[in-house]
Amino acid sequence: MVFLRQHAEIDNSNYRRLNRVDVMTAGHELRGLVEVGLVEQHGFGRWTSYSLKVPAEKPVASVVQHEEERILGFVRKHGSINNAECMELLGIKQRRAHYLLRAMVNKGALTPKGERRWTRYWLS
């Protein structure tokens, strides 16, 4: 799976080399990945290759945008926000809260006041 994330496709030969298995085992395991829907098969016989089947999921950008909207809504309602409140609001860890708040400062959406753990973020 890591190989497929880094490369467009894999064939039986590369699978055998990477996993140190025989032809039959490689074929069986690759077909198993197709059956569970993780990879797609292209071609047949000697020319068969497999590529990663990308599941439909939310793009990361929309998740970040949603989090930022929730932070802005909180600040509009309460006047300001700090790291702890952001963590509780979004159900995230301290590093993620710090990252989001700093990114919003860099975008000009929020203005920090205070230092270190006493920093509060206000609308710009």
pLDDT digits (tens, 9 = 90+) for 32-67: 989 988 899 998 888 889 998 875 455 556 666 789
Alpha-carbon Rg for the chain in angstroms: 23
The single-letter DSSP state of residue 42 is E
State residue 87's pLDDT score: 94
Q: Which CATH code fits 60-123?
A: 1.10.10.10
The CATH 1.10.10.10 domain(s) of the chain lie at: 60-123
CATH topology of domain 2-52: Arc Repressor Mutant, subunit A (1.10.10)
- The whole-number pLDDT of residue 56 equals 46
Q: How far apart are CA 122 and CA 73, in angstroms?
A: 12
Cα separation, 47 vs 109, whole angstroms: 53
CA pair distance 24, 80, nearest whole angstrom: 62
| CA end-to-end span of the chain | 44
Instruction: State pTM to two decimals.
Output: 0.51
CA 42 to chain centre: 27
Averaged confidence pLDDT in the chain: 88
Task: With beta carbons less than 8 A apart as the criterion, state whether 120 and 81 touch.
Answer: yes
